Chain A
Amino acid sequence: MKLLQRTALYQALLALPMIVVGTAIGYGLVRHTVTHELDEALADHAAQLRERMHKTDLFLEITTPDMLVKVAPGTILSEQFSDTVMYDTLAVEDIPWRIGRFPATQADGNAAVLTIGRSQLETDDLVMGIAMSIAAVLVLFSLFTLLLFRWLSSRLWRPFHANLLAMERFRPDSPTPPLAPSNVDEFAGMANALGGMMANMQRDFTAQKRFTEQAAHELRTPLAILRGRLDQLIQNPSLGERDAEVIQGMYTASERMGRTVSDMLTLAKVGDGEFLPQKVDWARMFREEIALLSDLISASKLTVEINEESRCVIQLHPALAQLLASNLLRNAVQHNVPNGTLSLAIARESITVRNIGPALSLAPATLFDRFAKGDPSSTSPGLGLSMVKEIAERNGLRVEYTVADGMHVITVQKG
Chain B
Amino acid sequence: MKVLLVEDETELRRAIRQYLQDEGHLVESATDFPSAMEKAQLHSYDAVLVDITLPKGNGLDIVRALRKADNACGIIIISAKGSLDDKVQGLDLGADDYLPKPFHLPELVARLRALVRRKQAKAQDSISIEALRIVPDDRLVEVDGARLDLTGTEFDLLHFLAVNKDRVLSRSAILEHVWGDLAERLDRDDFLYAHIKNLRKKLAAQGCDGLIKTVYGLGYRMSERA
A-side residues, CB < 8 A to B, are: 216-217, 220-221, 223-232, 234-235, 239, 241, 244-245, 247-248, 251-252, 254-255, 258-259, 262, 265, 269, 292-293, 295-296, 299, 319, 330, 333-334, 379-380
Contacts and interface: CB of A to CB of B under 8 A. Distances in A.
A228 B191 contact: no
Nearest to A331: B185
Nearest to A218: B80
Interface string B76-92: 00001111100000000
B113 interface: no
Interface stretch (B25-33, B142-150, B165-173): B165-173
Contacts of A380: 184-185
Contacts of B100: 220
A232 B101 contact: no
Given A220-B100, A241-B217, A296-B179, 9 more contacts: A224-B12, A227-B102, A228-B12, A228-B15, A232-B15, A234-B218, A248-B218, A299-B191, A330-B182
B24 to A, nearest CB: 14
A241 B80 CA distance: 33
B138 interface: no
B170 A230 contact: yes
B136 interface: no
- Chain B interface size band reads 35 or more
Contact of A231 (B19, B182, B185): B19
Contacts of A295: 153, 179, 182
A62 B11 CA distance: 133
A221 B53 CA distance: 11
A333 B185 contact: yes
Given A220-B80, A232-B19, A295-B153, A247 B104 contact: no
Interface string B194-226: 100000000000000000000111110000000
B182 A293 contact: yes
B9 A225 contact: yes
B70 interface: no
B59 interface: no
Interface of B: 9, 11-12, 15-16, 18-19, 22, 80-84, 100-106, 153, 167-168, 170-173, 179, 181-182, 184-187, 191, 194, 215-219
B47 to A, nearest CB: 17
Nearest to B8: A221
Contacts of A252: 172
A293 B18 CA distance: 36
B80 A228 contact: no
Residue of A241, A244, A255, A259 with most chain B CB atoms under a 10 A cut-off:
A255
Contacts of A251: 170-172
B102 A235 contact: no
Contact of A239 (B83, B179, B186, B218): B218
B102 A258 contact: yes
Contacts of A230: 170
Contact of B82 (A225, A235, A262, A379): A262
A241 B216 contact: yes
A406 to B, nearest CB: 23
A221 to B, nearest CB: 5
A225 B217 contact: no
The 8 closest A-B CB pairs, nearest first, are A244-B217, A228-B15, A224-B102, A223-B102, A220-B80, A224-B101, A231-B105, A225-B11
A293 B184 CA distance: 12
Contacts of A319: 84
Contacts of B172: 227, 251-252, 254-255
B191 A231 contact: no
B105 A228 contact: yes
B182 to A, nearest CB: 6
A62 B210 CA distance: 146
Contacts of A269: 83
